[in-house]
């Protein structure tokens, strides 16, 4: 991380423990100085009075127009995040003095990355939440050639198979 001013790195454990965060990385940022969440029903990020569309979202170094389900055209936020916090590694949130890598941002930068799955053995996670519903995740080896990371949120489910 080349930014030294107004940057914050937080872990997945912080995201899961934040009260009222609904396991959403965007809701955690409303506690930082100069950052507000204008509406509790959405996860828009307003940094120092700028528009939520001025926040640059990057996932694995690739700019993402909106990392949310059901976002409205011209906005960044929505009621439900499309990124499951269980598949993320530490996230970086920068509110000013951006490095040159983030030249396309006006208000702030939210840089996220996916963690490496467990390649040694199978692991399972089960969660039940009032907002996210039932969530299950399995990761690990599926034989000699395939590895799997899968997760399910409410009615949405995804399975990612990777050739080892």
**Tens of pLDDT, residues 47-70:** 988 888 888 889 888 888 888 877
* SS3 label, residue 69: strand
In tens, the pLDDT along 1-38 reads 555 567 888 887 887 777 667 778 888 888 888 888 87
Alpha carbon distances (Å) from 12 to 21, 67, 80, 147: 12, 17, 17, 22
Nearest to 24 by CA among 43, 49, 11, 4: 43
Torsion over CA of 53, 55, 59 and 65, rounded to 10 degrees? 10
> The whole model's pTM is what?
0.75
Beta-ladder partners of 138: 124, 150
| Spatial separation of the C-alpha atoms in residues 105 and 124, rounded to whole Å | 37
**What six digits make up the tokens of 100?**
């040159």
Residue 94 vs residue 154, higher pLDDT: 94
| Spatial separation of the C-alpha atoms in residues 83 and 112, rounded to whole Å | 10
Sheet holding 55-59: strands in order across? 7-10, 91-94, 108-112, 55-59, 62-64
């Amino acid at each position: 991380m080349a930014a030294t001013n107004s940057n914050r790195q937080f872990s997945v454990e912080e995201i899961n423990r934040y009260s009222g965060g609904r396991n959403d990385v965007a809701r955690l940022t409303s506690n930082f100085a100069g950052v507000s969440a204008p509406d509790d029903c959405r996860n828009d990020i307003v940094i120092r009075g700028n528009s939520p569309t001025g926040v640059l979202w990057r996932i694995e170094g690739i700019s993402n127009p909106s990392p949310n389900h059901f976002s409205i055209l011209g906005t960044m936020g929505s009621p439900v995040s499309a990124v499951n916090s269980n598949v993320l590694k530490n996230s970086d949130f920068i509110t000013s003095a951006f490095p040159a890598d983030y030249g396309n941002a006006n208000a702030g930068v939210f840089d996220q990355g996916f963690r490496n799955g467990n390649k040694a053995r199978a692991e399972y996670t089960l969660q039940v939440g009032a907002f996210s519903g039932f969530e299950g995740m399995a990761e690990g080896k599926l034989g000699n050639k395939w590895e799997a990371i899968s997760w399910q949120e409410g009615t949405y489910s995804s399975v990612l198979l990777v050739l080892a």
